[in-house]
Amino acid sequence: MMNNYLITIIGPTAIGKTALSIKLAQHFNCEIISCDSRQFFKEMKIGTAVPSEEELAAAKHHFIQNKSIFKNYSVGDFEVEALQKLDELFQTNTIQIMVGGSGLYVDAVLKGFDEFPDIDASVRDEINSKYDELGIEYLQSTLKDLDSDYYQKLETENPQTLVNPQRMKRFVEVCLGTGKPYSNFIGKRSVKRDFIPIIIGLQADREIMYDRINQRVDIMLQEGLLDEVQQLYPHKDLNALQTVGYRELFDYFDGKTTLDFAIEQIKMNTRRFAKRQITWFKRTENTSWFDYKTDVNEIIHSIESKINNF
């Protein structure tokens, strides 16, 4: 039986993952699964750096602007749907591609989720009571105290979760109910996948990466980011919109900051986000790292060598 291979491209924002994924898809004649947790939403196009029409036409993409910000969509939902799509795609080609900067979503597809112990109902009742009294800040501060590592991961990869009461209650519930960090229960269950991951990481010197980020923000503004955010302003409290590039401009529309200040905050917060992405992805085992300017043929040769050696 032939093996299935999932080429997975990781790295910080604005590093060139989309361009590489398209070149690889064209070479291997396959399709692309996007696991960028912000590009799922069809109302958020400019601020999430969705691939251009030309890029989308150059290779078949999945999970790009296929959901609405008005519908709840979790990483668990993505895991189920992405695996179903991969099962379908592997029927026609044993090589497929996944690309994106959302480490939590990458891990969901490659590793799956874990099982957690049952928690006494009294713990849940106490958490609900304190939440009613103190709000989301209680859940955030408690999780940060009890499991700072997992809090930082959420802050990096899925910040909208930090303002999702149901998810946050569950994290705190596990911490308080077991006396152990929520992250202690992650990665304990071995999940079998019907594909072999080949993980390609893109990297660059920090100053180069920061310059690329600053340029991308300027391009977004030229393409109409301000108008996009203004249209979404009435829905600014939705979980999907609690993300860099939108929150800062919501503050501007609220009259809390100047436009120039908001733009500088977007650039700064995106740079911080990229730094956290690097920290996350550097922990990803069996990753082959390449400079962002590496010739695609060198990367293709590396991938084909790995496939031939399996």
Bind-site residues: 11-18
Per the annotation, binding residues for ATP are: 11-18
CA dist 25 to 17, 60, 184, 199, Å?
12, 8, 37, 15
Per the annotation, binding residues for substrate are: 13-18
Question: What are the beta bridge partners of residue 184?
Answer: none
Nearest to 232, CA basis, from 217, 246, 243 = 246
Q: How many CA atoms lie within 13 A of 310 on its CB side?
A: 14
Sort 1 into a burial class: Cβ within 10 Å, 0-12 / 13-18 / 19+.
Answer: exposed
Dig out the tokens for 195 from the structure.
Answer: 């594909």
- What amino acid occupies position 15? I
Buried b (16+ CB within 10 A) or exposed e, 152-180: ebbbbbbbbbbbbeebbbbbbbbbbbbee
Dig out the tokens for 117 from the structure.
Answer: 């112990």
| Tokens 């590496």 belong to residue | 294
Q: Which stretches does DSSP call E strand in the chain? A: 5-10, 32-34, 61-62, 95-99, 196-203, 287-291
Nearest-angstrom CA–CA distance, 241 and 218: 20
Nearest to 189, CA basis, from 279, 108, 84 = 108
Nearest to 62, CA basis, from 95, 28, 80, 86 = 86
Contact between 32 and 59 under an 8 Å Cβ cutoff? The reply is yes
